[in-house]
Structure 1
Amino acid sequence: MKILITGATGFLGGHIADRLAADGHRLTCAVRNPDSARERRPAFDYAAIDFNRATEPERWLPLLAGIDVVINAVGILREAPGQSFDVLHTRAPSALFSACATAGVRHVIQISALGADEAAQSRYHLSKRTADDHLRSLPVRSTIVQPSLVFGLDGASARMFGTMASLPLIPLPGRGDQCVQPVHVDDVADAVARLVGATDTLAESGVRLAVVGPHALTLRSFLASLRTAIGIRRAPRFLPVPDSLTTLGATLAGHLPGAFLDTETLQMLRRGNTADARAMRDVLGRDPRPVADFVPPALAEPLRLRAQLGWLLPVLRLSIAFVWILTAIVSLGVYPVEASYALLAEAGVPAALRPAALYGAAVLDLVLGALTLFSYRRGLVWQAQVALIVGYMLIITLKLPEFWLHPYGPISKNVPMLAVIWLLYELESRRWNT
């Protein structure tokens, strides 16, 4: 069949597109930047369209000529500048669905969300539900796919939950008894592929399919199972976080770009995200895979390492920032200024330049500490820190060599600090500089 799919550059849409292509379908991916998308999946056809401007059916009609099936897999969990629930979840998809009815498309599959129903409260769910209802009102065969929490090794949620599961002490909202029913992304893609070719009762129009894993789990049980799946044998230790503190944390996180948690996602978690798995079994012709099978054994070790680095690297960054910022504060007056001037004199700094050397170095330390926390080009920050530390060590070696033999090791302790910065540079610089 000839299929038009939106959202193919995203996590879930990309997996669906790959699965359909493997079945021999001809795909056209409607994306904002075809050139960029083609670099990742060169075998597909592409059509340029911007969801923010495609809010009228007329914008979609030229893309639908000869199309048999349309799959809408565009979705965002949180709003961002230029990305609103109203446009991306409701107005643009509704325009697409109306165009499908006009163009005579045989089947429209809408990737919605579990919870986009009569009890929906979050803007995420409400915006999905509005588009779902519009699609079901049109004279076109439709299927509403409602995934639960989708897990895939290349997905953002997998990284987040994997990192949480690997923590020595795992914080939980309340007692962690919120219910989830995670489903593997490959099972979601298989279900959509089955729907595309369905000729039985699955072909009935307006069907809502809950795409879930085999069993409902508490958040606590899910994290414990995931911890075992990535190869951590130590039993998990949990830290219940009172609801008031969880709400406060979600409120604060809501102001951070890219954060997974905000007050609405917390509300969705508290509501629960489960459904009867029988319909999913009927679609797949088998049981969906359980959490224990989410991670292939051959990948458990690298995924464990990735999960642990998810929290170890921030700890290292914070510790490096702490050293720079504390050094700056101490130099700015906590340590006796005259004693600092005496050390500069021993190093051969002229009296007239000592204030500038002391306070200039303190400000530089403070800036490097702040950049460690907030910079998006940390590779350059790590290089600057190494250069400054090595410079300090060379000056002290030449002018104050006795500090190498100091019992508290004020200079030798720079060696492990340099090693940590090197580690951070190797693991993070490419990510932050591209």
Structure 2
Amino acid sequence: MRIVLVGGTGLIGSAIHARLSAEGHECVLVSRHPVTSPDRHHVHVALDVARTTDASKWKSVLAGADAVINAAGALQGQDMQGVHVAGSAALYAACESMGVRRVILFSAIGSDRDARTDFSRSKRDGEAVLMARDLDWVVLRPSVVVGRPAYGGSALLRGLASLPILPVMPHTAAIQPVHLDDVVETVVFFLRPGAPCRVALDLAGPERIGFSDAVALFRSWLRWRPAYRLHLPSWVASAAYRVGDVAQMLGWRTPVNSTAQAEMRRGATGDPEPWRRVTGMRPRHLEVALAREPASVQERWFARLYALKPLIFGVFGMFWIATGIISLGAGWNIGMSLLREGGLQENVAALTVTAGALADIVIGLAILWRPLSRYGLWAALIISLTYAVIGTVLVPRLWADPLGPMLKIWPVIMLNLVAMAIREDR
């Protein structure tokens, strides 16, 4: 089959693509950003679903397609109405006009029962738009999806599992984690000839557990001793979610934000029995699924680095901003005296200190703002090496300074390289 997979580079989309490709299907991957290394086994189309609200613009993508899988989604900080409703509506209209009957939509569990947030409401409205079409539609509403890959809520579970003290958020409801392989297997079932259609199913695991209990299972899987559970007061938890909102405004994709807060209060539970009846699937228990795939050292590294990533970028960005502010303020005379010692004239020294301080501030701001963070990190690396060279040439005695200003550049460079290594989200 030729299958158009919208959101094909995400957690669920990537797993579906891998399975379908292995079975010999041709996939047309649609995602917002072009892939850096195209795969010769599939066609990739860079397209922003939220902005593609004209059905005619989808027709070239759907040419020759036998089915469409819509796994595109946005949680917060993006145009949820555009992704889940307007752009998807144009896609479904194009499917209807071109005779592409089979459409599988990934929605969100509980959105049909209790739509508390813009995320849930837009998911619910997106379902309604599809159901109104004369298509062989299938709506799948997965709970928290877990598996060997990690992104979003799945990555958050691992990151929290790495903490020796587990912060327990108040007012969080139960979840029914569902394994990624079970989700993929369900998609394969509905792509088979004669598969049922016009059904909406909750993809929920067989047991309800608390979010903190799910974290504890991951911690056990990672072979760490149980963590002490610290129950956070409501105001501390709210502050943490607001920090996530700020990170979202700076372009970072974080599963901790005010939308997640509302969704966690609602929980992620559903009735898996209709899913079992229709497909014959027997969704696996989280503990059993984890036991079948023992954690390696790479998972332990990921969990620890995921928890540290916000601190690494936050502290590193603020470090550069602080050095710039200090250089223009309390450290001005120190910087000037060092440059005069190196033989620079007064006006040249003043210009150098000012330019360096402003560059530090700009670099720090770029590191904190994700769209420019790659350039900020490269600039930080280059300017750190430049400072080392200039300091060595102008004031070589700094290498013997007991406070080690020249030696401390190298740990800064190492942290810079770590930030560059973990910047990527997927």
| Shorter-chain TM-score tier | 0.7 to 0.9
Q: SS state of the match for residue 120, structure 1?
A: coil
Contact 1:345 1:351 in 2 (8 A): yes
One-letter amino acid of the structure 2 residue matched with residue 5 of structure 1: L
Q: 1:415 maps to which residue?
A: 407
Please state if 1:293 is matched with 2:285: no
Deviations 1:339-396 (A, max 9, x none): 7766666555566766556666655555555555455220231231133135325544
For structure 1, the residue ranges without an aligned partner over 5 or more in a row are: none
Q: 1:223 maps to which residue?
A: 215
Q: 1:21 maps to which residue?
A: 21
Q: SS state of the match for residue 407, structure 2?
A: helix
2:203 equivalent among 211, 218, 232: 211
Q: Residues 348 and 56 of structure 1: is their aligned pair in 2 closer, same or farther, counting only changes over 3 Å?
A: closer
Deviations 1:22-47 (A, max 9, x none): 334x334263689x459443223567
For structure 2, the residue ranges without an aligned partner over 5 or more in a row are: none
Deviations 1:391-413 (A, max 9, x none): 3255443xx47x83x6xx212x6
One-letter amino acid of the structure 2 residue matched with residue 410 of structure 1: L
Please state if 1:303 is matched with 2:299: yes
Question: Aligned partners of 2:23, 2:328: CA distance in 1, in Å?
Answer: 67
Please state if 1:273 is matched with 2:271: no
Deviations 1:149-179 (A, max 9, x none): 223444431333322322344434326x432
Contact 1:224 1:236 in 2 (8 A): no
Contact 2:341 2:395 in 1 (8 A): no
Contact 1:71 1:108 in 2 (8 A): yes
Give the C-alpha shift of residue 418 in structure 1: 1.0
Please state if 1:51 is matched with 2:49: yes
Contact 2:157 2:214 in 1 (8 A): no
Q: 2:75 maps to which residue?
A: 77
Q: 1:391 maps to which residue?
A: 390
2:162 equivalent among 166, 177, 180: 166
Aligned residue-pair number: 415
Q: 2:252 maps to which residue?
A: 258
One-letter amino acid of the structure 2 residue matched with residue 238 of structure 1: L
Contact 2:242 2:257 in 1 (8 A): no
One-letter amino acid of the structure 2 residue matched with residue 13 of structure 1: G
One-letter amino acid of the structure 1 residue matched with residue 103 of structure 2: V
Q: Residues 390 and 291 of structure 1: is their aligned pair in 2 closer, same or farther, counting only changes over 3 Å?
A: farther
Q: SS state of the match for residue 180, structure 1?
A: coil
Q: Residues 4 and 315 of structure 1: is their aligned pair in 2 closer, same or farther, counting only changes over 3 Å?
A: closer
Question: Aligned partners of 2:69, 2:306: CA distance in 1, in Å?
Answer: 33
Question: Aligned partners of 2:336, 2:135: CA distance in 1, in Å?
Answer: 81
Question: Aligned partners of 1:107, 1:220: CA distance in 2, in Å?
Answer: 38
In terms of mean alpha carbon deviation, does 367-376 or 190-199 score higher? 367-376
Query: Rg bigger for which structure?
Result: 1
Give the C-alpha shift of residue 147 in structure 1: 1.0
Question: Aligned partners of 1:334, 1:316: CA distance in 2, in Å?
Answer: 26
Give the C-alpha shift of residue 305 in structure 1: 0.9
Instruction: Give the share of equivalent positions with the same residue, in percent.
Output: 26
One-letter amino acid of the structure 2 residue matched with residue 428 of structure 1: M
Q: Residues 55 and 292 of structure 1: is their aligned pair in 2 closer, same or farther, counting only changes over 3 Å?
A: same
Q: SS state of the match for residue 415, structure 1?
A: coil
Deviations 1:99-148 (A, max 9, x none): 44455545332222212204213222222222322333344332211111
Contact 1:226 1:292 in 2 (8 A): no
Question: Aligned partners of 2:318, 2:32: CA distance in 1, in Å?
Answer: 41
Give the C-alpha shift of residue 221 in structure 1: 1.2
Give the C-alpha shift of residue 208 in structure 1: 1.4
Contact 1:171 1:241 in 2 (8 A): no
Q: Residues 428 and 61 of structure 1: is their aligned pair in 2 closer, same or farther, counting only changes over 3 Å?
A: closer
Q: SS state of the match for residue 381, structure 2?
A: helix
Give the C-alpha shift of residue 51 in structure 1: 3.5
Deviations 1:254-313 (A, max 9, x none): 533234343333212211111123344453533324156348756531121122123435
Q: Residues 117 and 384 of structure 1: is their aligned pair in 2 closer, same or farther, counting only changes over 3 Å?
A: same
TM-score, with structure 1 as normaliser:
0.78
Question: Aligned partners of 1:359, 1:106: CA distance in 2, in Å?
Answer: 64
Q: Residues 180 and 394 of structure 1: is their aligned pair in 2 closer, same or farther, counting only changes over 3 Å?
A: farther
Q: Residues 104 and 235 of structure 1: is their aligned pair in 2 closer, same or farther, counting only changes over 3 Å?
A: same
Give the C-alpha shift of residue 185 in structure 1: 2.0
Matches within 5 A, 1:370-409: 370=365, 373-374=368-369, 376=373, 377=375, 378-393=377-392, 395-397=394-396, 400=397, 404=400, 409=402
Question: Aligned partners of 1:49, 1:124: CA distance in 2, in Å?
Answer: 21
Give the C-alpha shift of residue 217 in structure 1: 2.0
